[in-house]
Amino acid sequence: MTIKISWLSVVGIILTVAMFLLNIESRAQVEGRTALDQIPSNADQATFAGGCFWCIEAPFDKVSGVYFAVSGYTGGTQANPTYKEVSSGQTDHIEAVRVVYDPEKITYSELLNLYWRQFDPTDAGGSFYDRGYQYSSAIFYETEDQRTQAEASKRALDRSGRFSKPIVTPILPATTFYPAEDYHQDYHIKNPTHYQSYRAGSGRDLFIAQMWNPEKETSLISSPPYKKPPEDVIRGRLTSLQYHVTQESGTEAPFDNTFWNSTKKGIYVDIVSGEPLFSSTHKFKSGTGWPSFTQPLVEEHIIEHRDTSWGMTRTEVRSKYADSHLGHVFTDGPPPNGLRYCINSAALRFIPADSLEIAGYGSHIHLFK
């Protein structure tokens, strides 16, 4: 039996299939936008990129205080990009995740802390075995406050010594975010076997385990790499005032320095080595124009010397590992110990309380709870 098919029938079949495929993609993109169309009125948004969006979306989905996380594309100029276009590098978009959260239950700083633990922030060429700009990392800030927090968090991580290479993740203004096709949303739930296989095979899980496992956390806190850098590094890192104070035992002007009247919660570390020295919980108003503390945060990090300069006898305080000149300690402080550690702001770097963990000073978080 011979079956005759007219050319009109062939055209009809082709059009039917095309319309079916187009409808699938259109429906997928609409479904991908549904969550973002239903954002609670009290919600804030944060946008993060760290390579494959499956692996960035999943951790945020599990966090209390996060309404939902959506995989998508952002940073580029092309409207309504598709996965095929972005993943092949045909656009200037990158894969990213938009996190919608309740700021009363979880802070942006806490989201940043979680974000840094999901990828290699020193890799500028992609993420694990996904290579290319479309898989690079980035933080897209929605507000100036987010920008400030993101930059502070990045600096803290960069200076923590956790990574041997510089942090290269850029902090950029948020642009239009395009939700990815529906089959990418909640991929870790829809396709758990493939998702876990992909994570393990890419090297992401091994990297995270090596950089952020409990054993490494403990070692970073209990035996941090406090040491004095080479002279050329110190000169390149410090301002002229910081160098004069710490390396030449100088003194900055009173009432005209960074921390003399600061009331922010956090700890103060050596500007040269990063060793923790003082805490805001021990800071008080002395009226002298310099930061004043009743006691050190870590006593073993403070070394005292007899100072007979300027025709008087005083007790100089220096840091243990960097041997930085910090200031002097006097016996005219408040109860209960009557001590006043008079310290130069130029010798200190401030770590905010909500950045202690990411900066590698997690053992001091209890001071602010």
In the annotation, is 342 catalytic? yes
In the Cβ-directed half-sphere of 306, how many Cα atoms lie within 13 Å? 2
Cβ atoms within 10 Å of 225's Cβ, excluding its own: 14
Dihedral over alpha carbons 154, 155, 161, 166 (to 10 degrees) = 70
Phi, psi for residue 295 in degrees, rounded to 5? -165, 160
Which residue out of 70, 99, 238, 342 is catalytically annotated? 342
Q: How far apart are CA 206 and CA 129, in angstroms?
A: 13
User: Which of 134, 151, 141, 31 is CA-nearest to residue 88?
Assistant: 134
Which residue out of 28, 46, 49, 52 is catalytically annotated? 52
Contact, 149 vs 352, CB < 8 A? no
**302-307 vs 292-293, strand pairing mode:** unpaired
In the annotation, is 52 catalytic? yes
User: Which of 79, 76, 72 is CA-nearest to residue 93?
Assistant: 76
Contact, 45 vs 139, CB < 8 A? no
Q: How far apart are CA 138 and CA 144, in angstroms?
A: 16
Contact, 74 vs 174, CB < 8 A? yes
**What's the CA angle centered on 238, arms 232 and 242, to 5 degrees?**
125
User: Which of 342, 344, 340, 343 is CA-nearest to residue 331?
Assistant: 340
**Tokens found for residue 45:** 């948004």
Q: How far apart are CA 89 and CA 96, in angstroms?
A: 14
Phi, psi for residue 41 in degrees, rounded to 5? -65, -25
Contact, 257 vs 344, CB < 8 A? yes
What one-character-per-residue DSSP string does 311-341 give? Answer: GS-EEEEEETTT--EEEEEES---TTT--EE
- Catalytic residue numbers read 52, 342
